[in-house]
Each structure stands twice: as structure tokens, then as C-alpha cells.
Amino acid sequence: MDKTDECCKSGCEGCPWNYKPNERENIKKENIMCPKCEKKVSFKKSLLALFLVMVAVWSLDSFASGNMDHSKMDHSKMDHSKMKKDSKRKQLTEGAKKSVINVLQANEELHNSFFKYDGKKVEEAAQKLKSAIDRINDSELTKLLKFSKTKLADIKASSSRDDNNQNYHLVSMALIHIVNTYDVGSKYNAYSCPMVKKKWVQNSKKMAKVHNPYAPNMPHCGSKDSNH
């Protein structure tokens, strides 16, 4: 192509090759381009290609993150900045506080029994927790835990694990309310797992890592929901 030939549609101002803008409709403008215009287009294409590569890498990374194996996630290291803080819990009498701590200690045994699941041992631990609740003399606490006693009675060796899981979840909801409402020390906190949609109370001093009693295939899936 001679340097006086007509250039592409843009037509570089002060073109060093003296090409002129193409104004004739019968010429395919994309096929006639001076070196300066070619360099511009090549640069733009390089930027576009780089952008597309970055988008592809980001998409793959997002997909991989969304498909992570929850059974291998250590949720105890997650950011818990939004967890429920210890804000002015109610004070209990010395006797009432001691009886609630006895209940929470009995709950530890029931919580632990779900990991090496044995229906008979789970039922025995549930009965011990029920007996500990029976020994509470505080009328307000007794009222709050009344429904829990019926659910503990429903935890049986003959029941399916799913049924026992559900009953323990309902018991745990009441215990979480107790822990979050009354000052029973700093050992016990509320936990939950979004995968199984269930909650429990755990001794955070003994178990720094999340211990999910409901999912044997992912025992550390879940998060700490309070910080007492």
C-alpha cells in the first residue's frame, strides 16, 4: 500500500505516513489501515484480552470458593466481629447460678455423646441433664426449661439419630437463651451450623475449635455466635 493511499475510518491527525481519512463507502475501511492505526488497535486488543483473562481467573476463583468442602473448614478462626457480645446479663443468686452451671456441665456430657454416637449413651446423658434441670429451684429458670425437659425425655436409644438431633437442638435453644440472658460465667457460648440449621451450647474453654454434634461428616462446621 502506497503511503499516499487512503487510511482507515479514523484517519490519524498528522499521520507520519501522510495517509488520509477514508471517506469512500466502496472501500472496506477495516482492511485499509496505516501502521500508526494498526498499533493503536493492537494495543486496544491486548488490553481487552488481558481484561478477559482477569475476568476468567476471578470467575474460577469465585466458583472454587463457593464449592469449598465445609468439613475441612476451621470455623473457629473465622471473623466473629458480629457475634453477640456479653452485654449486661442478669445476675442470679449464688444457688441459682450454681444449679445452672450444673445443668451446663450435664449438657457437656450430652453434647460429647453425639460424637461417638451410641444411642444408649445419648439417652443416659439426656436423662442426667433432665435430672439436673429438675434440681433448679428458681421459678423463672424452671419455667424457661420446662419444654426442654419434655424434649430430653424424647431422646431415646430407640429413636433415629435425626430425631435425637432435632430434640437436642430444641433443648439447646433454651440453654442458649439461659446463657445469653443470665451471667453464668465465661465458659459457655452459643454455636450454630448453617449447613444443618441447628444450634448448641459448647464449653469454649475446653473446646476452642467448633464441635458440631449434629454432623459426623463435618464435626468442625459451624460458628461461635456469642462471646461471654
| Residues 150-175 pLDDT 10s | 999 999 999 999 999 999 999 999 99
Question: pLDDT at residue 50 above 80?
Answer: no
Residue 52: the pLDDT is 79
Number of domains within the chain: 2
Residues 6+ apart with CB under 8 A from 8: 22, 29, 30, 32, 33, 34, 37
- Phi/psi region, residue 11 (left: phi>0; alpha: psi -120 to 50; beta: rest), is left
Question: pLDDT at residue 223 above 90?
Answer: yes
Q: Are residues 61 and 84 in the same domain?
A: no
Consecutive H or E run containing 163: helix 161-181
Say which residue the cell 437436642 belongs to: 168
pLDDT band, very low/low/confident/very high, at 76 (cuts 50, 70, 90): very low
- The answer to whether residue 197 sits within a structural domain is yes
Segment 104-122 shows an average pLDDT of: 97
Residue 226: the pLDDT is 95
Residue 37: the pLDDT is 64
- The answer to whether residue 182 sits within a structural domain is yes
Q: Are residues 41 and 152 in the same domain?
A: no
Q: Are residues 148 and 50 in the same domain?
A: no
- The answer to whether residue 71 sits within a structural domain is no
Segment 189-216 shows an average pLDDT of: 97
Question: pLDDT at residue 94 above 90?
Answer: yes
Gap between the Cα atoms of 6 and 24, Å rounded? 9
Question: pLDDT at residue 10 above 70?
Answer: no
Residue 1: the pLDDT is 44
pTM higher than the cut 0.85: no
Q: Select the more confidently predicted residue: 175 or 18.
A: 175
DSSP classification of residue 6? B
Residue 219: the pLDDT is 95
**Domain extent for 53:** 1-66
Do 225 and 192 touch, CB atoms closer than 8 A? yes
Question: pLDDT at residue 106 above 80?
Answer: yes
Q: Are residues 109 and 219 in the same domain?
A: yes
Tell me which amino acid residue 174 is. Answer: A
Burial of 205 (0-12, 13-18, 19+ CB in 10 A): exposed
- The answer to whether residue 73 sits within a structural domain is no
pLDDT band, very low/low/confident/very high, at 49 (cuts 50, 70, 90): confident
Q: Are residues 53 and 85 in the same domain?
A: no
Q: Which has the minimum average pLDDT: 15-29, 95-109, 199-213?
A: 15-29
Segment 14-28 shows an average pLDDT of: 55
